[in-house]
Amino acid sequence: MTKRTWIGAIALAIVMAFTAQPAFAGLGDVETPTVEGPEASGPGNTPFLATDIDLASKGYVEEEYEYSGDAFRYDRTGADDVTATKITTGGPNSDGKFPYRTRMIVRRPANPADFNGTVVVEWLNVTAGFDVEWNWMGDPQYLIDNGYAWVGISAQNVGINALKGFNPTRYGDLVNPDPLPNPQSDSDALSFEIYSAGIKALLDAGNGADPLPGMTPSTVIASGESQSGSRMSAYYNKIQPLHELVDAFLITVSTGTLRDDRPEKAIRVISETENRTQRTEPDNSTYRQWEVAGGSHLPRMAWDNAEGPLTRDLGTLDVDCQKFPLSRVQWPFVVNSAIADLVTWSGGGAAPPIGPRGVYTDPTTLERDQYGIGKGGIRLPAVDIPVEVNTGVNAAEPGGPPLSVFCVLLGSSEVLPDSTLTSLYHDYGDYVDKTAPAVQAVADQGFIVQGDVPRLQQMYEEVPYLRPTVPVPDKDATRGDLTLTWRGTEAAQSTFALEHSKDKGATWSPVSGAEALASPTFTFPGKGETDGKWIYRVRSSTIIPANVEAPETTVTTPYSDSSGQVIADRKGPKLKLKCPKKVKRGSKAFVKVKAKDKGVGLKKKPKSKIRINTKRPGVRKITAKAKDKLGNKSKKSCKVKVVK
């Protein structure tokens, strides 16, 4: 079925390069640029794609700086292992230099004491014609929780031009010329030195303002995703050998080859979208390639973090894909592990694990299981314990909007049929109990950090498609007071509906007050359950808000299995007295007593007969009492006349 999706102008931003770009030219010494800022911000004058996270509450700040200087172009010819050389001709003064002025966006701990020493410097992706900070948007919580500084650099001409259009007042003085390339350079030929100069400013505390006040980075990780990941590959091969400003490289969802004669450590994390044809780049003493099974170029996790800023600043566009877009394989968690490993590895510590590669029937065909999930690679529980078929594959719906061509990069996520889910998992509890050890296993393998285990597990506990577990009563017999508990989805906007039956499930009716419970428990108010032999069942309903995938929908699960029987009994035993109307004085006479309880049963049978006092004439009142196993009491009396 066609799924219509409203994707912010980001639909353009995800056009990604699948192979490394041609090599770029050399750098030489890098001058520390002049840094100004932080730039003032206020209503109507905020940085482009300013974060919507409340950083202050987390002890972080967001600041924007501008920096300027002169940059060279570089001769990029030669194989990957041929270092670039500076081009010293051309420019306003015929010395090869071109003036520039660009910006960096900084998110860092407010207190320098909270800085962990590592700055991740992201080359902002410009495929869409504007800057997008994909490495930040993958999982900013990890960076914040662990004391990293993150810096995004506008290195390329197209990004600068977009900034000037977005806010001419704020960005009108930025300059990044794109000199006509000669045969030895490429478009955006100044970008490499502009990027390096930004790093130099971070290390030298700037020539003017300090972008990291009170903080001295001990580790610099250069990062880029997709298009800017290709620039990272070129930077590693051609530029890094000239100045050695970077300690380690993080390259995501971008393929290519890195030279193997450099000491700098690099980890490349790719999704199934880039891995649909077999990748053969070998791991070695400085390089790891981690292939995440079932992931899409743009994962749902990253979109959730990006959607707010993108739609706020850019609006929305229509894309119509053949399959439900955006894989829910959370590969940004694998990126977190790569960041942590790069810090350790570049500092002389243990090397990261070598990741398993995809399994192929031939070099162009990824092997898939019976559900359509790709085999091999790093396997998060989303693919090994599936509730959806997550892939890196999708296509445009014929006749859809023009930007639907980008569906090929969105991957897909389609819920398994109810019959399949039922065959795989008895209920929600069964599913969660299987995912918990699986998450820990991926951490034990070294592909997610231990600190992320609870967060990743929580994502699986929010799955809305599986029926709750059986409601468990706190007692099997009650005077009407009763609490039932169960396990069910922890997704936002989920409610539970409880039903009961006293004819062994032939008919069911809603439990009053339990039609839309916010949590998986219910206590009958007072002695609220009526008499009967009851069984219970529950189901969940979850509102899925309108988002990148679809308009608002509601997911309602089947009902759980039925609970064991609960006897609700608020009445005392039924007493029957056989009482003579008259008896003679001095006679031996009795009132016969019968007690019966259809609920929980008698605690103790009363005496079957009560002797009547016949010593004197008069009226005698005879009372029988009984109590059931719950303490419900009853009594019944009759009167007997004693005559002479």
Q: Tell the burial category of 140 from Cβ atoms under 10 Å away from its Cβ (0-12, 13-18, 19+).
A: buried
Of 280-294, 321-335, 537-551, minimum mean pLDDT range: 537-551
Number of domains in the chain: 4
Measured distance CA(270)–CA(286) in Å, rounded: 17
Neighbours of 309 (CB within 10 A): 22
Is the backbone of residue 429 left (phi > 0), alpha (psi -120 to 50) or beta?
alpha
Pair 66, 206 in one domain: yes
How confident is the model over 156-167, as pLDDT tens digits?
A: 999 999 999 999
- pLDDT more than 90, % of the chain: 86
More confident residue, 17 or 402: 402
How confident is the model over 167-203, as pLDDT tens digits?
A: 999 999 999 998 766 666 677 899 999 999 999 999 9
More confident residue, 546 or 253: 253
In a domain, 451, yes or no: yes
Residue 484, H or E segment = strand 483-485
What is the total residue count of the chain?
644
Please compute the mean of the pLDDT values over residues 529-539 and round it to a whole number: 97
**Residue where a domain stops, chosen among 439, 461, 483:** 461
The mean pLDDT value of the chain amounts to 93
Please compute the mean of the pLDDT values over residues 3-19 and round it to a whole number: 41
* Cβ–Cβ < 8 Å for 270, 107: no
Please compute the mean of the pLDDT values over residues 511-534 and round it to a whole number: 96
In a domain, 260, yes or no: no
Q: In which band, very low, low, confident or very high, does the pLDDT at 548 lie, cut at 50, 70 and 90?
A: low
Pair 8, 64 in one domain: no
Q: In which band, very low, low, confident or very high, does the pLDDT at 390 lie, cut at 50, 70 and 90?
A: very high
Pair 393, 288 in one domain: yes
Pair 91, 220 in one domain: yes
Q: What's the predicted TM-score (pTM) here?
A: 0.89
Find the domain containing 546 and state its range. 472-568
Please compute the mean of the pLDDT values over residues 106-112 and round it to a whole number: 99
Pair 501, 412 in one domain: no
More confident residue, 620 or 317: 620
Pair 510, 595 in one domain: no
Q: What counts of helices (H) and strands (E) characterise the chain?
A: 14, 33
Q: In which band, very low, low, confident or very high, does the pLDDT at 27 lie, cut at 50, 70 and 90?
A: very low
SS3 state at 599 = coil
Residue 11, H or E segment = helix 10-13
Please compute the mean of the pLDDT values over residues 392-402 and round it to a whole number: 92
Task: Say which residues have a Cβ less than 8 Å from residue 441's Cβ, sequence separation at least 6.
Answer: none
In a domain, 347, yes or no: no
In the block, residue with structure tokens 């966006």: 105
In a domain, 237, yes or no: yes
Pair 96, 120 in one domain: yes
Measured distance CA(325)–CA(580) in Å, rounded: 84
Pair 581, 563 in one domain: no
Q: What is the pLDDT at residue 443? A: 99
Q: At what angle do helices 191-204 and 227-234 cross, to 10 degrees?
A: 80
Measured distance CA(495)–CA(515) in Å, rounded: 8
How confident is the model over 429-441, as pLDDT tens digits?
A: 999 999 999 999 9
How confident is the model over 212-234, as pLDDT tens digits?
A: 999 999 999 999 999 999 999 99
**Residue where a domain stops, chosen among 535, 568, 601:** 568
Side chain identity at residue 171, one-letter code: Y
CA 159-25-201 angle, to 5 degrees, is 55
Q: Tell the burial category of 518 from Cβ atoms under 10 Å away from its Cβ (0-12, 13-18, 19+).
A: exposed
Side chain identity at residue 573, one-letter code: P
What CATH number corresponds to the domain at position 543? 2.60.40.10
In a domain, 71, yes or no: yes
In a domain, 340, yes or no: no
Pair 553, 605 in one domain: no
In the block, residue with structure tokens 């995004």: 152
Three-state SS string across 415-454, please? ECCHHHHHHHCCCHHHHHHHHHHHHHHHHHHCCCCHHHHH
In a domain, 140, yes or no: yes
* Cβ–Cβ < 8 Å for 326, 298: yes
Measured distance CA(562)–CA(475) in Å, rounded: 15
Q: What is the pLDDT at residue 644? A: 87
Q: In which band, very low, low, confident or very high, does the pLDDT at 403 lie, cut at 50, 70 and 90?
A: confident
How confident is the model over 454-494, as pLDDT tens digits?
A: 999 999 999 999 999 999 999 999 999 999 999 999 999 99
Pair 482, 450 in one domain: no
In the block, residue with structure tokens 């091969």: 237
In a domain, 602, yes or no: yes
**Residue where a domain stops, chosen among 420, 437, 461:** 461
Pair 76, 91 in one domain: yes
Pair 123, 246 in one domain: yes
